[in-house]
Amino acid sequence: MAVKTTVNDKGFQKSLKDIVITKSELLAVEGAGARNIATAQKTLVPVDTGATRASIGSHIVSVSEERIVDEVGAETEYAPFVELGTSNTNYPMQPFVRPSVFGREKSIFADMADAFFMTVLRRWKGKVQR
């Protein structure tokens, strides 16, 4: 026999519909995803001098009330040649940017969801009735 319970989540559902996220909160949620990607890139990038790995970071391009454009990647001039290779057979493709995203979407979105959850939790702190 299963033990069942019912939770009235109407108040929570209404709160989620009514939530207005601030720019700083949106940046925190987006930043969690960007950090995930940057960490993966730093793990995946081949290392010779370490300059490319050290240059990997997140760079906000634009922010509006509804959207953030963030570029995550390496800043060295030769990073594209590491990622894509060259016609010279001595420099094959060594992708680290694309694999940091493709196939890792669940991990990235999970980090962003956790950051969003923390935003909601901070707002609800003290408002939850027991």
Q: Is residue 17 over pLDDT 60?
A: yes
CB 33 within 8 A of CB 109: yes
Instruction: Work out the average pLDDT over 15-27.
Output: 77
Domain spans in the chain, listed from the N-terminal domain onward: 23-117
The structure tokens listed for 25 are: 């909160």
pLDDT in the model for residue 7: 54
Instruction: Work out the average pLDDT over 79-100.
Output: 93
Q: Which residue has the higher pLDDT, 66 or 37?
A: 37
pLDDT category of residue 20 using cuts at 50, 70 and 90 = confident
Mean pLDDT (the chain, rounded): 85
Instruction: Work out the average pLDDT over 7-27.
Output: 72
Quote the crossing angle between the two packed helices 105-124 and 23-44, to the nearest 10°: 150
C-alpha distance from residue 26 to each of 46, 76, 116 (Å) = 32, 28, 8
Of all residues in the chain, the percent with pLDDT exceeding 70 is 82
Q: Is residue 6 over pLDDT 60?
A: no
Sign of CA dihedral 112, 114, 117, 121: negative
Maximum C-alpha span of the chain: 68
pLDDT in the model for residue 12: 63
pLDDT digits (tens, 9 = 90+) for 41-57: 999 999 999 999 999 99
Q: Which residue has the higher pLDDT, 60 or 45?
A: 45
